[in-house]
């Protein structure tokens, strides 16, 4: 069955960086766009970014463009979210999900806390 | 950005009775491929969101048939025909037509 496992969440100071990972199993990874979505008490659910199978098509929400970078390693069946210049309002549970537009499957989430 | 507005935000329900949640978008959700990317999710406490309905009215595998979705254009509805205790949680609509794809604020369903 489909499984998405996120990791990398942590407590980090404002201005710091983190890299989240999401490892997939149970489906043909190279057939699908992969996505990062976050859930925070203040902003609710927010779709942050997606990446196409060959990494040619990438999009970001305005709130993270220029600070976050999505990437994927198809050989490792893993999608990443590099998060730089973190702010207090980036505090959230971060989920990977697929497919694009439809979000049928989600991981369990990884918690990121940005605080001094 | 397309704003998704749900109502009500809090929905007290009675077991065995129907319940419905409205979702309105600030733009029409018909995509160029002919699909309307309006999805509904349920989130129970401590769990990840679970998709219930995709493309307005298609029920996901394993979702009880008491859940149904309807609507078109900018107005959509999730209906629970007879509420059961396990339906407690927060429900979100989400549009996948216009980037950035956006979610409603959530409707808390409680007994």
Nearest-5° angle of CA A116, CA A114, CA A79?
A: 150
CB contact under 8 A, B106 and A44: yes
Residues 6+ apart with CB under 8 A from A87: A14, A114
Which of chain B's residues have a Cβ under 8 Å away from the Cβ of A102?
37, 39, 51, 54-55, 96
Proportion of chain B above pLDDT 70, given as a percent: 100
- In the prediction, which pLDDT does A69 show? 98
CB contact under 8 A, A47 and B100: yes
Residue count (chain A):
116
Distance CA(B42)–CA(B47), nearest Å, equals: 9
Share in percent of chain A as helix, strand, coil (round to 5) = 10, 50, 40
Nearest alpha carbon to residue A15 among A67, A85, A88, A69 = A85
Q: Give the 3-state DSSP-derived string for chain B, with helices as H, strands as E and coil as C.
A: CCCEEEECCEEECCCCCCEEEEEEECCCCECCCCCECEEEEEECCCCCCEEEEECCCEECCCCCCCEEEEEECCEEEEEECCCCHHHCEEEEEEECCCCCCEECCCEEEEC
Tens of pLDDT along B31-76?
Answer: 999 999 999 999 999 999 999 999 999 999 999 999 999 999 999 9
What are the tokens at A70? 């999505």
In this complex, which of A61, A95, A100 lies closest to B48 when CB atoms are compared? A95
CB contact under 8 A, A104 and B101: no
Distance CA(B76)–CA(B54), nearest Å, equals: 12
Inter-chain Cβ pairs, chain A and chain B, closer than 8 A: 48
- In the prediction, which pLDDT does A39 show? 97
Return phi, psi of residue A79, to 5°.
Answer: -115, 145
User: Do the strands B67-72 and B58-59 form a parallel or antiparallel pair, or are they unpaired?
Assistant: unpaired
The whole-angstrom distance between A75's CA and the closest CA on chain B is 26
Distance CA(A21)–CA(B46), nearest Å, equals: 21
Q: Is the dihedral of CA B48, B82, B38, B62 positive or negative?
A: positive
- In the prediction, which pLDDT does A1 show? 93
Low-confidence stretches of chain A (pLDDT beneath 50):
none
Q: What is the mean pLDDT of residues B89-109?
A: 97
- In the prediction, which pLDDT does A16 show? 98
- In the prediction, which pLDDT does A41 show? 87
- In the prediction, which pLDDT does B41 show? 98
Residues 6+ apart with CB under 8 A from A65: none
């Amino acid at each position: 069955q489909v499984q998405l496992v996120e990791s990398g969440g942590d407590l980090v100071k404002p201005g710091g960086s983190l890299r989240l990972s999401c490892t997939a199993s149970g489906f043909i990874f190279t057939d699908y766009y992969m996505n990062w979505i976050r859930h925070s008490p203040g902003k609710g659910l927010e779709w942050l970014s997606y990446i196409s199978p060959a990494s040619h098509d990438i999009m970001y929400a305005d709130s993270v463009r220029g600070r976050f970078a999505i990437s994927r390693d198809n050989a490792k069946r893993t999608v990443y979210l590099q998060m730089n210049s973190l702010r207090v309002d980036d505090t959230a549970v971060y989920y990977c999900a697929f497919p694009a537009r439809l979000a049928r499957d989600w991981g369990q989430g990884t918690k990121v806390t940005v605080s001094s | 950005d397309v704003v998704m507005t749900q109502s009500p935000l809090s929905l007290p329900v009675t077991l065995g009775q129907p319940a419905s949640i409205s979702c309105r978008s600030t733009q029409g959700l018909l995509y160029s491929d002919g699909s309307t990317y309006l999805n509904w999710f349920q989130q129970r406490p401590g769990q990840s969101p679970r998709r219930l309905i995709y493309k307005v009215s298609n029920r996901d595998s394993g979702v009880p048939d008491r859940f149904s979705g309807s609507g078109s254009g900018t107005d959509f509805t999730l209906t629970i025909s007879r509420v059961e205790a396990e339906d407690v949680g927060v429900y979100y609509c989400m549009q996948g037509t216009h980037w950035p794809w956006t979610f409603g604020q959530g409707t808390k369903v409680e007994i």
